[in-house]
Chains A and B, each alone.
Chain A
């Protein structure tokens, strides 16, 4: 991997971009990633050259749009090893999880249980809370073992009442990679549905839905160099046939009459009501091509190297830093500087051009695990460099002087 060449692909990383007078370093990739020029160009291409609606246009440009969408869907299929009818475009992982929860509701009855963990993102908690209160069933938590989900701990809470288990492939704050294949197999042994939140995994390493044998997988385009407002919900065909779509409207029905009868189109169209985010779909398709050119395996290997480099350097050089996830695999460093509030640390880093995120990171149950409700999260992607990490560590050393940013 030629990082300097890769960085040239990103307009945000070019032209000596600065923030607060310092070189710009983007360490907030778990929130959203930067976009390469080829993705931006692809989106503009749609708006400039064939900006018409999809489905049933009897003219060339409409055909072009359909072809581009088909190609994007095919790119997604190859990326996660799914079939075309199993890949549904959504506005993002959040919408996917809401659709799945509402769709699976019909299989639940009173006193059933849904299992999640307290490290889940809000989007993998609240949709379950809602259907649990609608049905009168319960949400329970798989206890974590040093940040990880283990079969031993699932065993403590799973039972014949468990109908759904929904967990993140990679947790968005701590970055532990869960052994989804093993967990899915175990959960299926209890005849429960297994839902996987891939928002922090699909962008960073190869994810194969058939190999993992998940029932559903969701992810977001903007966390993998694609545009915002586009994501994917994968579901096993047999299940997609069974569940209802969240949204009804144009492009998803076969027919309807005055008496209120209507029929669904076959999946994936059944779930794609209304005009889709066409530029988003096409942009995501391009982003996948871009990631494939670099190679998901290369991305994974490089990010682990960066993570290890950052953790080792921080631990060796900044004794005041407390890292909550030093042994997790993903390129996420979740930390605090002793005696300094996370947000004050975030402002200090920002004043040196380094973008991090602070707070609870949408995982508002996680403080149970790490004993603090506010952390600094530096999250890396394949365009980050060791030089950037060196600068980050130097700024971390100044933690004690965090008020300097208001007075220097």
Chain B
């Protein structure tokens, strides 16, 4: 991951995902769905996920949010797609630990490492985790199938 640890490159990755978000589309009802409506801001994001035999075969999202929530959700969908549930849980835990300033394994995080400095702006941790918490809710069986 060290090639990304340059501030300028990290910034570019965030801007790129903000301006060209990946996997941003509405999937059909065969997907599990959760609506993440942040109380304290205007982020409104739907996460959709398709799981087959313990593998997240597809993860997509739609909705609107700030640069941090958009980019973090976009990057997340790329990382989690194709992972097993166990792998996804390990990645989500590492991401969570990074944001809260705890020890984490950077090798699991791929491009999501660009949010390593978010803990400097504690008010934005919620933005950087909104999509991730959405997947967590679906995996915990707390999906609402939309709203």
A and B held together in a complex: yes
In the bound complex, residues from chain B placing their C-beta under 8 Å from that of A407 are: 7, 10-11, 117
- Complex Cα distance, B127 from A341, in Å, reads 12
Query: Within the complex, what minimum Cβ distance (angstroms) separates A364 from chain B?
Result: 9
Q: Does residue A25 face the partner (Cβ distance < 8 Å to B)? A: no
Whether A403 and B42, one on each chain, are in contact in the complex, defined by CB atoms closer than 8 angstroms, is no
Evaluate whether A405 and B121 lie within 8 angstroms (CB atoms) in the complex, with A343-B41, A343-B127, A373-B42 already known.
yes
Q: Does residue A289 face the partner (Cβ distance < 8 Å to B)? A: no
Q: Does residue A358 face the partner (Cβ distance < 8 Å to B)? A: yes
Q: Does residue B120 face the partner (Cβ distance < 8 Å to A)? A: yes
Q: Does residue B25 face the partner (Cβ distance < 8 Å to A)? A: no
Whether A359 and B123, one on each chain, are in contact in the complex, defined by CB atoms closer than 8 angstroms, is no
- Complex Cα distance, B43 from A374, in Å, reads 10
In the bound complex, residues from chain B placing their C-beta under 8 Å from that of A343 are: 41-43, 66, 68, 127
- Scan residues 353-397 of chain A and give those whose CB is less than 8 A from a CB of chain B: 358-360, 373-374
Q: Does residue B94 face the partner (Cβ distance < 8 Å to A)? A: no
Whether A403 and B121, one on each chain, are in contact in the complex, defined by CB atoms closer than 8 angstroms, is no
In the bound complex, residues from chain A placing their C-beta under 8 Å from that of B11 are: 403, 406-407
Evaluate whether A374 and B7 lie within 8 angstroms (CB atoms) in the complex, with A341-B67, A403-B15 already known.
no
Segment at the interface with B among A146-154, A213-221, A327-335, A344-352: A344-352
Q: Does residue A194 face the partner (Cβ distance < 8 Å to B)? A: no
In the bound complex, residues from chain A placing their C-beta under 8 Å from that of B96 are: none
Digitize A301-315: 1 where CB-to-B-CB distance is under 8 Å, 0 elsewhere.
000000000000000
Q: Does residue B59 face the partner (Cβ distance < 8 Å to A)? A: no
Whether A359 and B15, one on each chain, are in contact in the complex, defined by CB atoms closer than 8 angstroms, is no
Chain B: residues with Cβ within 8 Å of the partner, total of 22
* Max chain A Cβ within 10 angstroms of own Cβ: one of B42, B67, B115: B42
In the bound complex, residues from chain B placing their C-beta under 8 Å from that of A350 are: 121, 123
Whether B14 and A347, one on each chain, are in contact in the complex, defined by CB atoms closer than 8 angstroms, is no
A interface bracket (residues with beta carbon within 8 Å of B): 10 to 19
Whether B117 and A347, one on each chain, are in contact in the complex, defined by CB atoms closer than 8 angstroms, is no
Q: Does residue A402 face the partner (Cβ distance < 8 Å to B)? A: yes
Whether A344 and B117, one on each chain, are in contact in the complex, defined by CB atoms closer than 8 angstroms, is no
In the bound complex, residues from chain A placing their C-beta under 8 Å from that of B145 are: none
Partner of A358, one of B10, B14, B41, B68: B41
Q: Does residue B23 face the partner (Cβ distance < 8 Å to A)? A: no
Q: Which residue of A lies closest to B124 (CB)?
A: A347
- Complex Cα distance, B10 from A347, in Å, reads 18
In the bound complex, residues from chain B placing their C-beta under 8 Å from that of A347 are: 121, 123-124
Q: Does residue B118 face the partner (Cβ distance < 8 Å to A)? A: yes
Whether B121 and A344, one on each chain, are in contact in the complex, defined by CB atoms closer than 8 angstroms, is no
- Complex Cα distance, B66 from A360, in Å, reads 13
- Complex Cα distance, B11 from A402, in Å, reads 10
**B residues neighboring A (CB under 8 Å):** 7, 10-11, 14-15, 40-43, 64-68, 115, 117-118, 120-121, 123-124, 127
**A residues neighboring B (CB under 8 Å):** 340-344, 347, 350-351, 358-360, 373-374, 402-403, 405-407
User: Could you pull out 18 A-B pairs where Cβ atoms are within 8 angstroms?
Assistant: A340-B67, A342-B66, A343-B68, A344-B66, A347-B121, A350-B121, A350-B123, A351-B121, A360-B42, A373-B42, A373-B64, A374-B42, A402-B67, A406-B115, A406-B118, A406-B120, A407-B10, A407-B117
Given contacts A343-B42, A405-B120, 5 further A-B contacts (CB under 8 A): A340-B67, A341-B67, A343-B41, A347-B121, A407-B10
